[in-house]
Structure 1
Amino acid sequence: MLTVNDFQEAAARLKNVIHTIPLSTSCTFSAMTGAEVYLKYENQQKTGSFKVRGAYNKIMKRYMEGNLKAVVASSAGNHAQGVAFAAASVGVPATIVMPRSAPIAKVAATEGYGAKVVLHGSVYDETYQKACEIIEQTGAELIHPFNDEDVMAGQGTIGLEILSDLPTVDMIFVPAGGGGLISGVAACVKQINPRIQVIGVQAEGASAIVDSFHQDSIRPTATAHTIADGIAVKEPGDLTMQYINQYVDQMVTVSDAEIASTILMLLERTKQVVEPAGAASLAAVLNQKVDIKGKKVVCVMSGGNIDVSFIHKVVEKGLVTRHRHIKFSTIMPDVPGALENFAHIVAEQNANVILFNHDRVAADLDIDEAIIEVVCEVSGDEHANRLLKALKKGGYDIYSKKQGGYELFNKK
């Protein structure tokens, strides 16, 4: 079992290798939640995530033992970069198996550190099977992304740093996929100060640890579907679950919409680029998954390796979730001037039309009608409601798009 000494030894190996990133306070998030909210920006870490901690600790420890020849890992991206960096540091060849859906930026970064990348499968569990095949063929050593105590010890050094910066912390929120980060942080923190609560956060579409935690047995999920690719794991490790069951206080889930909204807020309020998995911890805090009022709370922002081509999709989802973009349809007479009247009302309400589709041939329309589908930019709920009320007052029924047709907003 991991002891405090294991975490201290890992910290010594990582000294002068990783970046030292002190906690940052957030007045905005503190005011929103009624707690003292601190952020641990591992998105600023070397290789762009916390994963370098565990990978480097494992590889350096094995290298010092003198018989490490080559390494293989399976990863959605962040562990891949950590292993590639660590292997290059000691001159050991590395092969990384990544899912075919891995962000291009993560694949390129992994290759940039000198590793050979093999694309296989759609989620971590399938890449892991391929990695095992390569190990059998080559005799290389597996560097597991989470189910390894040396890896967990490296990740747990985050706990030492949090306690050093904020000894009076009450609660630590940690993203969880396979469980290496949360098991390491929880084991480290709880052995030093059992008073501190550790809360794990998973995506709703990949909730294997949450299910296993509540059922007190490992419960794999049939699928792992979420924008948070870094924590999209169908089955947690048996070792990580032992530590989670022993040391973690609560496990909660957040939706993709909540994650996207949080990423957008981090971009706007803190100017930080955080990937979906990394934003899960703050999403749980902002959406009040746990009562934190009056507490000193730390959220671990576990990574920032988000593909630039994917950011606009996440931002768009966040804008819709926060009602900064509102999508609706309305039916109007198909006569000259009808569009002008509609646009005049929108302009009067200081909203901005950013997408517009005019359909005159829908099957369920009368011959003298047209339906328009609109996306408007507004400042939030209150502004959106003002716009919809003004349109209704102007004689427009507002519809939302549903499967197979349209549904009237606010039927009552």
Structure 2
Amino acid sequence: MSEVFIPLGGAGGKNRGTAAVLGDSTPFSNAGAVMSLPLPAGNYKKSVSNPRTSYGDGKNSEVTISKELLKKMAIDAFGIASITNFSATMYAHKQVRLTWARPTKGLWSGVHFIFKYGSMPDGIYDGFMPVDTADVHYETRTLQEGLLYIRAYSYVETNQGRWYDYDGTPVYTTIQVTGISGAVSFGAGAGTWTVPEGVRRIRYILVGHGGNGGSGNGYYVPGGGGGGGYFTTGYMDVTPGQAIPWIVPVRGQVAPTNTATWQNLMNGGNLPGLYTTFGGIVAQHGKPPLSMQMTRGGHQGSGGDGGSGGAAFGGSPGTNGNDGAGAQTSVKDRGGRNGDTYYLTIRPGQGQHSSTTGFNGVLYCSGGIAGNKGSSGVGSAGTNGLGNGGNGANNRYMDNYSGGEGGTGSIYIAWGSSMNDGS
């Protein structure tokens, strides 16, 4: 036991007893200006060694007081001040915000909060998520729904650690923890989305416009499939009431109107004015099938990284963010090379080449289907809102039908449990 020595006056004498020892549980009284301690009955004589192992005669006796007893007396005499205006409100999805005011006078270094479901905490360790702070507000982590009890214990810093106010008037509150969940989606158009009250974190999906399918090109040359639009997803910290601008390009805008722009797209370029945007986040559009390649023999058109290859009479679409399908036709050599057959491949439009399945379970941005040379007709358009590439035109003889337009993109925003991540 740590002890403090207080010398007491008195005459010496051999008839004196040992020192008075006042332990942790010694009763005392607080009369305002005076703190009183009852001493055990008897006479005492001075210690003649340190630490005390023997006692002898002398003028002064001593009282030994434990530090825990002094701590109790100091707290009782001077008090640890309490916070005021303590309240709890819902801050965000299953998150609570605590606010309070610091005391304006008295001993105070900070406040300790402890949380518990079902009943009021009894002590600084009776509950979960203890936190000590000297601030005037605190936001919890995500909690479970239910009636939450919160208790505050003020404390003062000393060179012996923190002293907590266990015996003052209890400071506590309760709150029903609730979820704040929802989702919104935007199709083709433009506008501004205002963050709802209580929403501070969102999860988003941006879907780019699908690439247009290729048109028929000369004798027996169908169009390749358009590449799926690009896709991006992630989280964003937001503030309730924040206004975020968004744009989803309308259908048909991806088709360029001049040779230079076609060449730009063929070389992997983009048309930034046709991006899907949300604040500073963008999703590019898919590409149309542009380049051609003449090969000897039975070379098949490639669908790009993971996309389906286009067969001579059409091909399957690339899925999950890949390229459209390549179209292919054949033409007999007319140059006297033993009648060899050469294959003209319409390469697919480019897509993202990575997964485009959203956290909402929707598959976006599939590549378009290549046309075939067994019939003639316009290619089917990609699905609006999904950013699918348009299908290539079927082409028989010299019909030169157009490929289907790429599908428009979209934006999907979710918060709370709708983020589908366990929140």
TM-score tier, shorter chain, comes to under 0.3
User: Hey, which of these two has a bigger chunk of strand by percent?
Assistant: 2
Q: TM-score, normalised by structure 2?
A: 0.21
Q: TM-score, normalised by structure 1?
A: 0.21
